[in-house]
């Protein structure tokens, strides 16, 4: 796996379809907050999972695509985190207020805007397509996607995220 694309995986956040922005106003919270976000911390709770994942995001003509690859041996941890994220989403839908990072607030906003989400499970992870035929919604998806790409690249360039060094996992040697 490519060490420059390791560790932070949010393509798995397809289950945040329920993640209605209930936290502070957009822009007042960090884009990624793996330690405190009620949705994201479900992934960091699984020991080694973040370091055993790769994540790519790409803008497309009508939205964006996220690709998540999970290293062998971490499939069960990945599935557990997905189940916990779904349960968190259900609590949000039931009206429970929770802290969400900027990414999760924006992602929930895409759902509320009517974006289409397609989640494809692969042998090694997931592919997620977020699309729309409405130019206004495509603009929102592109803004979300570009911010995600930019913020993720900053985190990778720094070599760590919220205490998780990218070199901690043997499949992700630091270059």
Look at residue 13 and give its three-state secondary structure. Answer: helix
Contact between 64 and 58 under an 8 Å Cβ cutoff? The reply is yes
Annotate 74-127 with DSSP letters as a single string. Answer: -HHHHHHHHHHHHHHHHHHHTT------HHHHHHHHHHHTT-EEEEEE-SSEEE
Contact between 89 and 39 under an 8 Å Cβ cutoff? The reply is yes
- Per-residue pLDDT tens digits for 8-45: 333 333 333 333 333 444 457 899 998 999 999 999 99
Residue 141 burial (CB count, 10 A): 23
- Per-residue pLDDT tens digits for 93-118: 899 999 999 999 999 999 999 999 99
Banded model confidence at residue 67, pLDDT cuts 50, 70, 90? very high
pLDDT value of position 166? 40
Burial 43-54 (b: 16+ CB within 10 A, else e): bbebeebbbbbb
Look at residue 1 and give its three-state secondary structure. Answer: coil
């Amino acid at each position: 796996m490519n060490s420059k694309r390791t560790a932070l995986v949010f393509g798995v956040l397809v289950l945040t379809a329920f993640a209605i922005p209930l936290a502070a106003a957009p822009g007042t919270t960090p884009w990624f907050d793996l330690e405190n976000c009620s949705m994201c911390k479900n992934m960091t709770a699984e020991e080694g999972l973040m370091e055993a994942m790769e994540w790519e995001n790409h803008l497309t003509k009508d939205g964006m695509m996220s690709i998540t690859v999970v290293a062998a041996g971490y499939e069960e941890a990945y599935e557990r985190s997905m189940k916990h994220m779904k349960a968190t989403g259900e609590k949000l839908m039931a009206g429970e207020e929770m802290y969400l990072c900027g990414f999760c607030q924006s992602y929930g906003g895409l759902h509320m805007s009517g974006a289409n989400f397609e989640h494809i499970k692969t042998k090694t992870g997931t592919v997620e397509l977020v699309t729309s035929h409405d130019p206004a919604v495509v603009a929102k998806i592109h803004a979300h996607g570009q911010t995600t790409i930019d913020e993720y690249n900053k985190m990778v360039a720094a070599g760590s995220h919220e205490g998780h060094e990218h070199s901690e996992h043997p499949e992700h040697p630091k270059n």
